[in-house]
Structure 1
Amino acid sequence: MIPIHFRTTLRRASRLALVFSLLFGSLLLAACHRGDDVQWRLTDVAGHMPDLDFRLVDDQGKAVTGQDYRGKVVLLYFGYTHCPDVCPLTLAQLHVVMQRLGPLADGARILFVSVDPARDTPDIMHAYVNAFDPRAVGLSGTPREIEALSKRYRSAFTREPDKGDGQYEVSHSSAIYVFDRDGKARLLATPGNPQDDLVHDLHLMLSLGNRS
């Protein structure tokens, strides 16, 4: 059973996703640039970040690895379901990005990796990520596995002191890592990047395929 406080958070998250959808759902994607003059708007990390590689559990309770997402453009994000602000905001914006990509979005997956595995069970993760977008997958694992994956991509998180009632917050990095269909790290998005930049680069990556 999903706890009451989580259901409240989920309702707020769903409303937030709806608001972003209404605000941006009517925007049309600019015409795609073709040819060899592609200019990424996000930070190009090709050759500076390792390939997509992990062994975790998805929100269906199934063991998965980075290989399971080959053939898809992957957006990797570290967060947790009790996050009061940045996580629901980020996932709501990623939902709008997927909407703006139209049919191309089926070639992408949002991987939401929990930095709070003690509370984020597969059932809770499944309900949470699906409140935002059907192409989002919740991933969790042991504390050691999560820490290792976080360090692999130079992310960071810190659990704040327990408030005495089992409630606590987790401070974490907020970057979005974009991997191409071969699992190669290609781009890095931060909260400072306009949504249009992420849409632009994903559109190019999904429509033109992987680029060397």
Structure 2
Amino acid sequence: MRGIRPWIKVIPAIVVVAALAGIQLSHLLGNNGPQAAEYPRFTLVDQRGHTVTEADFRGRFLLVYFGYTYCPDVCPTSLSTMAGALYRLGTRADAIQTAMITVDPDRDPPSVLGEYVVSFWPGMVGLGGSPEQVAEAARQFAVVYTRNGDGDDYTMDHSAFLYLMAPDGRLALTIPHGTPAEALARLLAEQVP
């Protein structure tokens, strides 16, 4: 029994990691995993404390990433890749609003989000809100996330896609984590006039 007890604490994390890997693989293979809404809806709070919805971004492309500011590796990599792709687009990047929606609203208040996201790309918007608001936004995009660990020193396991919403609010692209900046720039260029 003594040898089993440490594994009991690890099993939920293994299950979550396996589920996230399965979702990522499902999207890559084009299988029917969790499906994002065709027109994702959300009500969140931006880094200035203003309530915003998806309608506030209509008329422009919106490139969305779900992550969190305490993320040690995946989020900074994804946001750096996003910035690299936008840099490659030159002035065409002006047609794209970028946003990160936190999956950790307890540690990512608006002011923290604002400072974090603009360190990757000027004009990027940090979006958060109540745990319920974040959960509903994540559901709209078929994002899966869960807290891993106890106390204040925890991580958030989460799916790591980029989502491009068209100016009419339609979900135009779902881009897997690990897509190089050059490839992401080409994908965006195919959508952005």
Partner of 2:8: none
Matched, 1:151 2:139: yes
Deviation at residue 79 of structure 1 after TM alignment: 0.4
CA deviation profile, 1:76-123 (whole Å, cap 9, x unmatched): 111000000000111111111111110111110111000110110111
Structure 1 or 2: larger helix share?
Answer: 2
Structure 1 residue aligned with 2:63, among 75, 80, 96?
75
Deviation at residue 153 of structure 1 after TM alignment: 1.6
Deviates more, 1:47-56 or 1:77-86: 47-56
Q: Distance in 2 between matches of 1:193 and 1:123?
A: 29
Matched, 1:130 2:118: yes
Find the residue that maps to 2:91 and give its secondary structure: helix
Matched, 1:96 2:88: no
Matched, 1:189 2:175: yes
Structure 2 residue aligned with 1:169, among 142, 155, 178?
155
Matched, 1:198 2:180: no
The gaps in structure 1 that reach 5 residues or longer are 1-42, 208-212
**Normalization by structure 2: what TM-score?**
0.78
Deviation at residue 202 of structure 1 after TM alignment: 1.2
Q: Distance in 1 between matches of 2:37 and 2:163?
A: 9
- Specify the code of the residue in structure 2 equivalent to 1:178: L
CA deviation profile, 1:30-70 (whole Å, cap 9, x unmatched): xxxxxxxxxxxxx8xxx973213211000111111100101
Matched, 1:116 2:107: no
**Equivalent residues of 2:40, 2:141 under 8 A apart:** no
- Specify the code of the residue in structure 2 equivalent to 1:199: A
Q: Distance in 2 between matches of 1:103 and 1:73?
A: 14
Find the residue that maps to 2:192 and give its secondary structure: helix
CA deviation profile, 1:134-191 (whole Å, cap 9, x unmatched): 13110001111111111122110000122x4x22100000011111111101111002
**Equivalent residues of 1:130, 1:136 under 8 A apart:** yes
Q: Distance in 2 between matches of 1:85 and 1:48?
A: 25
Find the residue that maps to 1:193 and give its secondary structure: coil
- Specify the code of the residue in structure 2 equivalent to 1:171: D
The CA RMSD over aligned residues, in Å, is 1.8
Q: Distance in 2 between matches of 1:53 and 1:186?
A: 14
**Equivalent residues of 1:116, 1:170 under 8 A apart:** yes
Alignment: residue pair count: 161
Q: Distance in 2 between matches of 1:87 and 1:106?
A: 22
The gaps in structure 2 that reach 5 residues or longer are 1-29
